[in-house]
Amino acid sequence: MNELISEVRATLLSNFHGDLLSPGHPDFEEARRVWNAMVARKPALIARCADTTDIQNAVRAAATAGVLAAIRCGGHSLGGFSTCEDGLVIDLSRLRDISVDEHGKRARFGGGCLLGTIDTATQKVGLAFPSGVVSHTGAAGLVLGGGTGWLNRLHGLSCDNVEGFTLVVADGSLVRANAKQNPDLFWALRGGGGNFGVVTEFEVRLHPVTSVLFGAGYCIGDDLAAIVRRWRDFMPHAPDNLRWGISLTTAPSSASVSPHLRGRPVASQGLVWVGDRDEGNRYLHRALSFCDCQAATQREMSFLELQTMADHEFPHGRRYYTKSGYFRSLGDSEIARMVAALETIPSPVDQIELAYLGGAAGRVGASETAFGDRGSPFIANVLGNWSEASDDAANVAWVRKLFADLRPAMTPGAYVNFMSGDEQDRVPEAYRERWGRLVTIKTHYDPNNFFRLNQNIPPQ
């Protein structure tokens, strides 16, 4: 153990209520693991906090000793920001309390909650928080960066549904940020990521949703490009109730997929309708008829089933690498490039995820939150997903090559939660005209850049 970490540990030993895990502790190996196996770092100490005071003490001790600290909620940062080599991890996984106000349609949840924790609690009273699509993702990282998912066309991004934050800032003090208290910080926390402090509690709005209509199917052959073009032309006129995403990938070789599809390049479609069933059935049927859709299904499903159905596609411990960007409009040649890239796909579960934002999320003004400009509604996320370290180079190269080919047609901007750990140069691009304001707020709350393991906004 290095000297500085020994100092932090000694300080915490006298007043820490949670667990202090050092290498050699029976729980250390499990506790140090994060979702992306590409990021296998070994911190010198993990402080698993039991309450807000623990967080304050850990922040103060690390800041005083000058120790590098990583903040961890769900550990799903694509860039691996919630761990570090030889430093301190402030682990929030014990802080998963949630209280739901059924009548006021509000919830308060702890800074260590996973999306599944929130869905389970809010669905008990028929309410839902608009968040992401995989239930083992951490809510804190997702909400602070923005938060896209099945409900955001109807109810906005996750960060648009936050009414208040409580956080521990770099000097260890507890601060509240909402429309009335510290409004600048409130603005920055809605999209600015983990740059400003450790959020101990989120206060959010909920919406009545218990079930949805879900449609799915595969397009193959010439229909691959054709369906993406139809989707591109259709979505700008679609009602907010419809969220339709397409994933260009390889059909799985599983029993649930018919043998003639297995291993073939496909456009895998996922459609969700929230609202009137008859109208929804018509929309889904129409969208699934745009091509000769294979294995098409259309059915009602519970919100909890929807929120967990992709969990197995992105398990902990695989190797992941991603690059992402926005398009104001998607040209035929970019669509052709994406489809052609499937011919050289190195892993059968690599994919090009296409989403269309718009709707309620798209109507929030660029300056209203740090998340920024929502005027380029097409999001392309090139996601490498493989299992063996020996395949790292091939998968990373495939993602980088396709991204570089698409980049000239993208509009400036980036969603920080879909960026990798090697894209620090793109962070100003993510915030564009909001950058100066963010730097000022960062300088005020964290002048020494204590919170720097994130898509970083350095202080002046």
Ligand X SMILES: Cc1cc2nc3c(=O)[nH]c(=O)nc-3n(C[C@H](O)[C@H](O)[C@H](O)COP(=O)(O)OP(=O)(O)OC[C@H]3O[C@@H](n4cnc5c(N)ncnc54)[C@H](O)[C@@H]3O)c2cc1C
* Residues of this chain that bind ligand X (CB under 6 A): 35, 70-78, 81-82, 92, 111, 132-134, 137-138, 140-142, 144-149, 194, 198-199, 314, 417, 453-454
- According to DSSP, residue 269 is labeled E
Query: Which tokens belong to 51?
Result: 């309450």
Q: Among 23, 26, 135, 138, which Cα is nearest to 85's?
A: 23
Per DSSP, helices labelled H in 167-326 are 183-189, 223-234, 277-288, 303-308
As measured in angstroms, the least distance from the Cβ of 385 to ligand X is 10
In the complex with ligand X, which residue's Cβ is closer, 225 or 243?
243
In the complex with ligand X, which residue's Cβ is closer, 293 or 325?
325
In the complex with ligand X, which residue's Cβ is closer, 241 or 308?
308
In the complex with ligand X, which residue's Cβ is closer, 77 or 294?
77
In the complex with ligand X, which residue's Cβ is closer, 273 or 415?
415
Length of the chain: 460
As measured in angstroms, the least distance from the Cβ of 172 to ligand X is 14
Residues linked to residue 71 through DSSP beta bridges, in sequence order: 90
As measured in angstroms, the least distance from the Cβ of 319 to ligand X is 12
In the complex with ligand X, which residue's Cβ is closer, 293 or 438?
438
Tell me the DSSP string of 59-71. Answer: HHHHHHHT--EEE
As measured in angstroms, the least distance from the Cβ of 68 to ligand X is 12
Q: Is the dihedral of CA 68, 72, 76, 77 positive or negative?
A: negative
| Residue whose structure tokens are 């599983």 | 254
As measured in angstroms, the least distance from the Cβ of 270 to ligand X is 12
As measured in angstroms, the least distance from the Cβ of 91 to ligand X is 9
Contact (Cβ atoms closer than 8 angstroms) between residue 211 and residue 181: no
Q: Among 365, 372, 370, which Cα is nearest to 442's?
A: 370
In the complex with ligand X, which residue's Cβ is closer, 129 or 314?
314
Q: Among 17, 92, 21, which Cα is nearest to 54's?
A: 17
Q: Among 368, 350, 352, which Cα is nearest to 360's?
A: 368
Residue 275, SS3 per DSSP: coil
As measured in angstroms, the least distance from the Cβ of 439 to ligand X is 18
Q: Which residues contact 122 (CB under 8 A, 6 or more apart)?
A: 98, 100, 107, 128, 129, 206
As measured in angstroms, the least distance from the Cβ of 272 to ligand X is 12
As measured in angstroms, the least distance from the Cβ of 411 to ligand X is 19
As measured in angstroms, the least distance from the Cβ of 154 to ligand X is 15
In the complex with ligand X, which residue's Cβ is closer, 60 or 72?
72
Give the integer Cα–Cα distance in Å for 178 and 193. 16
Per DSSP, helices labelled H in 289-426 are 303-308, 332-341, 359-362, 392-406
In the complex with ligand X, which residue's Cβ is closer, 18 or 294?
18
395-398's contacts with Cβ under 8 Å and 24+ in sequence apart are 395/319, 395/321, 395/346, 395/347, 395/350, 396/321, 398/341, 398/344, 398/345, 398/346, 398/350
In the complex with ligand X, which residue's Cβ is closer, 293 or 396?
396
In the complex with ligand X, which residue's Cβ is closer, 147 or 339?
147
Where does residue 208 rank: exposed (0-12), middle (13-18), buried (19+ CB within 10 A)? exposed
As measured in angstroms, the least distance from the Cβ of 72 to ligand X is 4
Query: Could you tell me what percentage of the chain is helix, strand and coil, using 3-state DSSP and rounding each to the nearest 5?
Result: 35, 25, 40
